[in-house]
Amino acid sequence: MPRVRMIEEREDTSPSQVEAFDHIAASRGGQMIRPFAAMIHRPEIARAAADLGAVIRFHSTLSDHDRELAICTTAVERDCAFEWDSHAPIARSAGVTEATLESIRVGSTVEDGDDAVFVEFARELCRSGKVGDAVFEQTRTRLGEEGTVELAAIVGYYTMLAVFMNACEAC
């Protein structure tokens, strides 16, 4: 049971929440989805988070495959079942193999070399708050600086969502 009331319907909003609710729902197919249904208690934060999420999810310079690797890894590292359950199917559709997803889920070594670099980048960032030089350089070699910056932002964004949802028990 969530620790905060989930506001999933427009008629449940306060006057200060209406504009943010409409904005977020419009950007997500007309629905208010988690975590925004909890975050809407602070409309300005919910709107800003949703806008950043839209950039990351729908205007990424990374392939869907690479983005979803980072999201799924972050979900596991931050123990957020909601994000894992939401993004593992998207990752499969983007071509992430079952073997890679299982390795991410259980925390074992990812065998696919290309996938391993992105998973290790996300794991290091989640576990220590930094990325070692070797993994950073491997990532920059594959993605360039723009892609590496975006990968770090993805991990940061989904970390924020996961810790928010875990705090509110909204998973």
pLDDT tens, position by position, 106-117: 999 999 888 999
Spell 119-146 as b/e; 16+ CB within 10 A means b: bbbbbbbbeeeebeeebbebbbeebeee
| Average confidence score pLDDT of the chain | 94
Query: What are the structural domains, with CATH classification, of the chain?
Result: 10-58 (no CATH), 64-168 (1.20.1290.10)
Spell 67-96 as b/e; 16+ CB within 10 A means b: bbbbbbbbbbbbebebbbeebbebbeeeeb
Mean pLDDT of 4-9: 93
Whether residue 12 has pLDDT greater than 70: yes
> What's the confidence (pLDDT) of residue 164?
95
> What's the confidence (pLDDT) of residue 20?
96
Q: Which amino acid is at 152?
A: A
Q: What is the 3-state secondary structure (H, E, C) of the chain?
A: CCCCCCCCCHHHCCCCCHHHHHHHHHCCCCCCCCCHHHHCCCHHHHHHHHHHHHHHHHCCCCCHHHHHHHHHHHHHHCCCHHHHHHHHHHHHHCCCCHHHHHHHHHCCCCCCHHHHHHHHHHHHHHHHCCCCHHHHHHHHHHHHHHHHHHHHHHHHHHHHHHHHHHHHCCC
* CB-based contact 74:126 (threshold 8 Å): yes
pLDDT 10s digits, 57-97: 889 999 999 999 999 999 999 999 999 999 999 999 999 99
> What's the confidence (pLDDT) of residue 171?
67
> What's the confidence (pLDDT) of residue 34?
86
Whether residue 170 has pLDDT greater than 80: no
Confidence of residue 40 (pLDDT cuts 50, 70, 90): very high
